[in-house]
Amino acid sequence: MYLMPMLIHLDSNMLPEPIQQVLQRVQDRADYMPAWQRDKVLTDNLGPSWRDLFTTFNEVPIAAASIGQVHSAILKSTGQPVAVKVQYPGVADSIDSDLNNLSILLTASRLLPKGLYLDKTIANARTELAWECDYIREAEGANRFRELLADDPVFVVPEIIAHASGKQVLTMEMLDGVAVTKVTDFTQTQRDWIGTQIMRLCLREIAEFHYMQTDPNWTNFLYNASTNKLELLDFGASRAYPEEFITPYVRTLIAATRNDRQACHDLSIELGYLTGMESQAMVDAHLSSIITLAEPFMLSSPDLYDFSNQTITDRVRAFIPVMIRERLAPPPEETYSLHRKLSGAFLLCARLGSSVPCKALFIEAVEAARRNGLKVE
């Protein structure tokens, strides 16, 4: 039942096409839970008088996903429209058994190459999915982003209603925006602006905040036409990155923008991507993938990088078979979530057809990191 959200933590490009198709069908199907079951979750989390918290509570969900559904309501204490996210019962308890079954399935079928380090991938998914099932943790992530982006002129983070929330229920301010990928009449100027802002946020998360909302789901980015702001949703996958990881990682990106392969090599050993004992084919593929990923931010790149014609993701994908075959160590665990979000930002810009001043955004992010004391040089 819950295999889809677990498998999205794997690199989908590594999954055979038949499995991808099945998983997509599972992801697209989201069933509502019956009212009695929903009410039990609300009672367990908010108490038997939970309805007294709301003037109105829409019985029909306005959205449903793999681990929960969302209801609209009016908060009685303030008259504020809110969204109430209710988790399906048993999701968290099912994770371990589902992941164990998944591991057995993929191991027995021999569909995944050894270089994917399935055990580590499964362990990472287990941790991150447990985070996403903890709505108290998600509330903390949303509150942290409200603080980090308090002075940002573009991004809006919903207010969390603490007294109407619990570990399996999360009540937040209702946002009025529309998912950026569902708007069909954006002008090119708007597409460029949205892509620029999303890339700016992603770089700030890496270099300045060291804290990232790592779910790249495009429906988590809403555009509010009346305010011309971008509204952010779903902070269950938010996480911090320790300075001992983020410092050499940012240095690696800087080296890549300068096409400094030796520095990228040395920093990759420091980070744990390489051991120093790899074949030349593995080293070349790894370094080339880093340089390719950094292409939009290079000093030699155009001032406006046109993502409508980007081939970065395809070119990086071409290096994967060699790296899977020749890899001697799994990547740092931080990589799974960070690269998922970074690649998601690239793909969203490509889908929007945005032209983005990536080079200037990267320089700005590095300068902010330096001002905050990160030793980037």
Q: At residue 376, does pLDDT exceed 90?
A: no
Of the two residues 14 and 268, the one the predictor is more confident about is 268
Q: Write down the pTM of the prediction.
A: 0.86
Please tell me the distance from the alpha carbon of residue 169 to that of residue 373, in angstroms, as a whole number. 38
- 360 exposure class (CB count in 10 Å sphere: 0-12, 13-18, 19+): middle
Residue 75: helix, strand or coil by DSSP? strand
List, in sequence order, every beta strand (DSSP E) within the chain: 54-57, 63-64, 68-75, 81-87, 155-156, 169-173, 178-179, 211-213, 221-224, 229-232, 238-240, 305-306, 355-356
Q: What is the arithmetic mean of pLDDT over 155-176? A: 97
Answer with the residue of higher pLDDT: 111 or 239. Answer: 239
List the beta strands (DSSP E) in 2-131: 54-57, 63-64, 68-75, 81-87
What percentage of the chain reaches a pLDDT higher than 90? 66
Q: What integer is the mean pLDDT of 307-325?
A: 88
Average pLDDT over residues 327-355: 91
Residue 24 has pLDDT above 80, yes or no: no
Q: Tell me how far CA of residue 188 lies from CA of 184, 252, 354, 359, in angstroms.
A: 11, 33, 7, 20
State which of 89-103, 104-118, 127-141, 162-176 shows the largest mean pLDDT. Answer: 162-176
Q: Among 98, 134, 192, 215, which one carries the catalytic annotation?
A: 215
Reading the block at residue 101, the tokens are: 């079954």
pLDDT digits (tens, 9 = 90+) for 233-267: 999 999 999 999 999 999 999 999 999 999 999 99
How high is the pLDDT of residue 28? 44
Confidence at residue 361, expressed as pLDDT on a 0 to 100 scale: 97
Q: Tell me which of 63-67, 84-88, 175-179, 329-333 is least confident.
A: 63-67
Q: Whole-angstrom Cα distance, residue 165 to residue 145? A: 18
* Percent of all residues in the chain with a pLDDT value above 70, rounded to a whole number: 86
Predicted confidence (pLDDT) per residue in 59-78, tens digit: 999 988 778 999 999 999 99
| pLDDT for the residue 81 | 97
Q: Is 215 a catalytic residue?
A: yes
Reported as a single tens digit per residue, the pLDDT across 214-234 is 988 888 999 999 999 999 999
